[in-house]
A and B are shown apart, each in its own frame.
Chain A
Amino acid sequence: MTYDQARFTGDGVYEPLLSAKTSRTVDPGADSDLPEELTRDELTFPSPSEPELARHYTRLSEMNYGVTTGPYPLGSCTMKYNPPFTEDVAAHEAAAVHPDRSTRSTQGVLELQHRLQDYLGRIGGMDAVTLQPPAGAAGEFTGIRLAQAYHEHNDEGHRDEVIVPESAHGTNFASAALAGYDVVSLPSGEDGRVDLDALEAALSEETAALMLTNPNTLGLFERDIERVAELVHDVGGLLYYDGANLNALLGRARPGDMGFDVMHYNVHKTFATPHGGGGPGAGPVGVVEELREFLPRPHVRRVDGEYDLVDPAHSIGKVHGYQGNWLVLVKAYAYIARLGDEGLADASAKAVLNANYLAEQIDCEVPFGPFHHEFVASAGDRDAANVARRMLDYGVHPPTTKWPEIVSEALMTEPTEVESRRTLDQLADAFDRSLGDDEATLADAPTRTAARRIDQTSAARNPRLAWHDLDEGGGG
């Protein structure tokens, strides 16, 4: 392999914990003018020098894999290159304003939000967009609450079911449950898509919404989407679009045109705002006209040439204390502006080309097809998790494993548009070598990473979640 992981090979060289190096105890009450009973007696806390701090975190960063380290073909996660200029844009001093400032004094912030709402609306084929949800799952919850409020407003509050395909992201189920719905799981058809008969059987007067990802998590476009929409609408339900896989459709198809009523956008996936090791993301929600007045308050609108924050007439209220993860939205705006119409369409074209090319190049079974941006290969009689760990030894981040469960020992792979043919060939090589290695080698992998096989069982049985829980009191 050409990827060099030499920096992960420092055998036994570990970065000590901050606490072990530098903890000190102080008495916060000592110099305080506060009554003693209101203050604490002591605080034990790390106290590194700035150079120590710089080395500590630099060392930790070296023990971490990011998109700039190498390919990150995690199915359904859309890990693609994040252009750093968006960071500079978001670091703009004027972006750092307090959320309680008057609308008159924050016209710049509101204008950018308004433009992004507009862009996202056009990209998704939606009539109105809120930027408030701070992540994709928060967007799902917002969307389902919108559907709920809409039904209640129309005296249809009895609808207490949300239908979710079994291959959907787990967040769909959890978000619907959080909103108080019973979740009806929809089995997949033989071709990996929604089974229309099963859908008809699941739909009823109790249906509030169907949540759908399209292309779905197998990378397959739901070709019968218009029929699906018709069936859902016929019983009075709403159709929800999970935007996790929107990267495959930019400029080729729009959820709004397919009959979806409400959708969320994962700006950190589709629009390449860095995932930050698990956030912050942002999950703007788009809706058709009928749902506009249910959006979270306040909503950015243009009134008499000025940007203003308006409370929609039947607003569901708030889903974030303020207006969501603003700096992430600035990055998303900058990214969309950088690509424009042709760039967005090209991103999808290349993402889909790359997925199909890679599926073609690897020596293992890839059921279903044709694929959009991702595919699910099967490791066959091999343990997909072991195969994944072995791929680390070949210098690449492995795909998502063991999900969706429709494919046994799943290796769910999404190369995205940012990988070159050469990189895809190397990825295919890593796939094939890992699958070709003997069981003992797989069971021993990885051997070249900062940590080898980690004891997950004892981590869960005997949770050690903070310095106190470590025997040596935080030693390295």
Chain B
Amino acid sequence: MRRGRTPPRHRETEAGSPFAPHTAAETAAMLDVVGVDDEADLFDIPGSVRFDGSFDIPARSEAAIRAEIDTMLGRNDDLVELLGRGHHAHYVPSVVAHLSDRSEFLTSYTQYQPEVAQGFLQALFEYQSMLVELTGLPVANCSMYDAATALGEAATLASRVRQTTGTRVLVPEHLQEGRRAVLENYVRGQDLTVESYPMADGNADLDALAEQVDEEVVLLYAENPTVRGCIEESLADLGTLADEHEALFTLGSDPVALALLEPPAAVGADIVVGDCSLGLPTAYGMGLGLFACREEFLRQVPGRLVGASEDDAGRRAYTLTLQTREQHIRRERATSNICTNQAWVALRAAMHAAWLGPDGLVDLAESGVRRARSAAARLDEVAGVTAPVHDRHHVGEFCVRTERAADAVAADLEAAGYAVHVVGEHDLQLRVAGLPDDVLDGVAEALAEVAR
């Protein structure tokens, strides 16, 4: 420390921001340069709207805040979560947390100054590339907020590119409630309406759907796996149906499932949306929205795109590209209002996917299929339980039917330490991917107690 210098102020006892490095002497000298006597004089705010009260928010030390949050979050019950419905987590390897937490990534801004953002740009280019591999579609953006908002954006894209005059968006009756609600909010301003089509034993009811689709439909949405964990078996037919009526076929999925299942492009998907289950814990619903589409829609894609180019030394370089679609240039004519996206989560997802590699991704998806099959068989043996409800192939999760009302069964299971979804009067949904045998035995025992 230089002689005579006032110590910096990150001591825990001093009032003021611990992150403002000014010493009293420096502040005084700077005020002098600016030409005012007091910090308060810097604020050009009429007296009538000046705030001179208190928020009554006491400053705490780091240690105190950590203890406080420990205590607060400690009030969450410690439950085994058999919860999914499209939002679920896989174990995230430590290396992903450590690398993504490198502050050059974490504390950086959107890559508008590409010369000093090459690292993040390349990582996002690689993220886009991985989605292209998994979906078979040639264009992927570098993130949306979540599956629900990505679906909303797919619908607004459909309204921009529609060849018909239609206004209908068709979604499965079994759809995560939040996705439907967000979609309704997104399409409201575009004068589109959202309607459900029926499901038959956990898959799209093709016959009923064929009756429902007409030239007024601008977007037909399906999921694989469905929200109930079923593999949708008639994707190609759905794609054909959409195509015959010039509706965009949008498929919701997850990168892990996509490593195993038919590539969406091969069944005629125009757009793929979804929640990425890699890179993050369940995080109370925080997610990463996927968005990929056909090349034809490139200039209608919402959100950011990273492109490869060269610098003037002839070296590979990356940059945000096609920004003329975005709100900071096109304002109310932009393809979307999304600005800050989920870039850092996309970075983590790319790291996690690369860590798994092709074998790891496929193994994870296959183990989900096997686990669902064996767990359903195991629970089907429990008196008062039928499993699975749908005679389909499942990935990671499935529904069970209980003799007693599902609400009551779920409440009793929670008391026994297990959290499950209620999806019908007598139907529960359980996510079992990654669940060890002994835990599954515990679930079976608990169900045996309360299912009848």
A183-B189 Cα distance, complex, nearest whole Å: 13
Nearest B residue (CB) for A179: B189
Are B72 and A98 neighbours in the complex by a CB distance under 8 Å?
no
User: Is A324 located at the chain interface by the 8 A CB criterion?
Assistant: yes
A307-B427 Cα distance, complex, nearest whole Å: 27
A348-B333 Cα distance, complex, nearest whole Å: 34
Are B306 and A140 neighbours in the complex by a CB distance under 8 Å?
no
User: Is B27 located at the chain interface by the 8 A CB criterion?
Assistant: yes
A contact residues around B51 at 8 Å (CB): 125, 251-254, 257
Report which of B43, B347, B355 forms a contact with A252, defined as CB distance below 8 A. B43
User: Is A128 located at the chain interface by the 8 A CB criterion?
Assistant: no
B65, B83, B107, B347 — which one has the most chain A CB atoms within 10 A of its CB? Answer: B107
Report which of A34, A326, A356, A450 forms a contact with B116, defined as CB distance below 8 A. A450
Given known A-B contacts A60-B120, A275-B108, A253 and B73 have beta carbons under 8 A apart: no
A contact residues around B26 at 8 Å (CB): 420-421
Total residues of chain B contacting the partner, CB 8 A: 186
Given known A-B contacts A64-B116, A66-B108, A342-B59, A101 and B83 have beta carbons under 8 A apart: yes
> Taking the nearest CB of chain B, how far is it from the CB of A327, in angstroms?
5
Given known A-B contacts A38-B231, A177-B189, A346-B20, A278 and B109 have beta carbons under 8 A apart: yes
Nearest A residue (CB) for B146: A321
Are B20 and A418 neighbours in the complex by a CB distance under 8 Å?
yes
User: Is A233 located at the chain interface by the 8 A CB criterion?
Assistant: no
Are A465 and B306 neighbours in the complex by a CB distance under 8 Å?
yes
B contact residues around A254 at 8 Å (CB): 51
Are A337 and B59 neighbours in the complex by a CB distance under 8 Å?
yes
Contact with A along B289-322 (1 / 0, CB 8 A): 0000000001000001111111111011111011
Contact with B along A8-21 (1 / 0, CB 8 A): 10011011011100
A97-B102 Cα distance, complex, nearest whole Å: 25
Please report which residues of chain A, range 80-105, place their CB below 8 angstroms from some CB of chain B when the two chains form the complex: 80-85, 87-89, 91-92, 94-102, 104-105
Binds A, one of B164-172, B215-223, B255-263, B375-383: B255-263
A272-B18 Cα distance, complex, nearest whole Å: 12
Nearest A residue (CB) for B287: A321
Given known A-B contacts A34-B231, A105-B76, A136 and B189 have beta carbons under 8 A apart: no
A397-B355 Cα distance, complex, nearest whole Å: 32
Binds B, one of A25-33, A376-384, A434-442: A25-33
Are A334 and B69 neighbours in the complex by a CB distance under 8 Å?
yes
Contact with A along B87-107 (1 / 0, CB 8 A): 111000101010111111111
Are A339 and B18 neighbours in the complex by a CB distance under 8 Å?
yes
A contact residues around B310 at 8 Å (CB): 454-455, 458
> Taking the nearest CB of chain B, how far is it from the CB of A314, in angstroms?
14
User: Is A374 located at the chain interface by the 8 A CB criterion?
Assistant: no
> Taking the nearest CB of chain A, how far is it from the CB of B34, in angstroms?
5
Given known A-B contacts A64-B119, A170-B334, A456 and B319 have beta carbons under 8 A apart: yes
Nearest B residue (CB) for A445: B115
Please report which residues of chain B, range 113-151, place their CB below 8 angstroms from some CB of chain A when the two chains form the complex: 113-120, 122-126, 128-130, 132-134, 138-140, 142-143, 145-149
Are B343 and A46 neighbours in the complex by a CB distance under 8 Å?
no
User: Is B46 located at the chain interface by the 8 A CB criterion?
Assistant: yes
Are A357 and B188 neighbours in the complex by a CB distance under 8 Å?
no
Given known A-B contacts A66-B106, A337-B65, A343 and B332 have beta carbons under 8 A apart: no
Report which of A81, A96, A173 forms a contact with B331, defined as CB distance below 8 A. A173
Are B357 and A468 neighbours in the complex by a CB distance under 8 Å?
no
> Taking the nearest CB of chain A, how far is it from the CB of B257, in angstroms?
11
Contact with A along B190-215 (1 / 0, CB 8 A): 11000000000000000000000000
Are B149 and A134 neighbours in the complex by a CB distance under 8 Å?
yes
B contact residues around A252 at 8 Å (CB): 43, 45, 50-51
Please report which residues of chain A, range 27-58, place their CB below 8 angstroms from some CB of chain B when the two chains form the complex: 28, 31-35, 37-40, 43-48, 50, 53-54, 56-58
A157-B382 Cα distance, complex, nearest whole Å: 55
Are A275 and B340 neighbours in the complex by a CB distance under 8 Å?
yes
Total residues of chain A contacting the partner, CB 8 A: 197
A contact residues around B30 at 8 Å (CB): 353-354, 357, 421
Nearest B residue (CB) for A447: B313
Are A45 and B351 neighbours in the complex by a CB distance under 8 Å?
no
Nearest A residue (CB) for B316: A14
Given known A-B contacts A14-B316, A94-B73, A467-B129, A321 and B178 have beta carbons under 8 A apart: yes
B58, B142, B316 — which one has the most chain A CB atoms within 10 A of its CB? Answer: B316
Are B357 and A464 neighbours in the complex by a CB distance under 8 Å?
no
User: Is A398 located at the chain interface by the 8 A CB criterion?
Assistant: yes
A34, A74, A174 — which one has the most chain B CB atoms within 10 A of its CB? Answer: A174
Contact with B along A226-256 (1 / 0, CB 8 A): 1000000000000000000000010111100
A119-B105 Cα distance, complex, nearest whole Å: 29
> Taking the nearest CB of chain A, how far is it from the CB of B364, in angstroms?
11
B contact residues around A54 at 8 Å (CB): 95, 99
Binds A, one of B242-250, B277-285, B434-442, B444-452: B277-285
A176, A318, A466 — which one has the most chain B CB atoms within 10 A of its CB? Answer: A466
Given known A-B contacts A64-B104, A221-B45, A338-B60, A171 and B342 have beta carbons under 8 A apart: no
Report which of A67, A89, A138, A421 forms a contact with B108, defined as CB distance below 8 A. A67
Report which of A50, A56, A69, A470 forms a contact with B308, defined as CB distance below 8 A. A470
> Taking the nearest CB of chain A, how far is it from the CB of B189, in angstroms?
3
User: Is B416 located at the chain interface by the 8 A CB criterion?
Assistant: no
User: Is B1 located at the chain interface by the 8 A CB criterion?
Assistant: no
B contact residues around A141 at 8 Å (CB): 337
Report which of B138, B148, B185, B333 forms a contact with A177, defined as CB distance below 8 A. B333
B contact residues around A50 at 8 Å (CB): 93, 95, 355
Contact with A along B224-236 (1 / 0, CB 8 A): 0000000101000
Are B116 and A28 neighbours in the complex by a CB distance under 8 Å?
no
> Taking the nearest CB of chain A, how far is it from the CB of B292, in angstroms?
10
B contact residues around A69 at 8 Å (CB): 103-104, 107
Report which of A12, A96, A123 forms a contact with B282, defined as CB distance below 8 A. A96
B contact residues around A333 at 8 Å (CB): 69
Are B33 and A357 neighbours in the complex by a CB distance under 8 Å?
yes
A134, A272, A344 — which one has the most chain B CB atoms within 10 A of its CB? Answer: A134
Nearest B residue (CB) for A101: B419
A33-B372 Cα distance, complex, nearest whole Å: 12
Sample of 20 more A-B contacts, CB < 8 Å, known A26-B359, A97-B76, A281-B340:
A8-B116, A18-B354, A47-B359, A57-B102, A92-B69, A97-B81, A173-B332, A180-B189, A249-B45, A321-B147, A322-B285, A337-B60, A338-B18, A338-B65, A339-B18, A344-B55, A350-B22, A465-B139, A466-B129, A467-B132
A/B interface sample: 12 pairs, CB < 8 A? A40-B263, A69-B107, A82-B106, A96-B283, A99-B284, A177-B332, A178-B189, A277-B108, A277-B117, A280-B341, A397-B116, A451-B114
A-B pairs with lowest CB-CB distance, top 5:
A322-B285, A340-B59, A180-B189, A276-B344, A99-B285
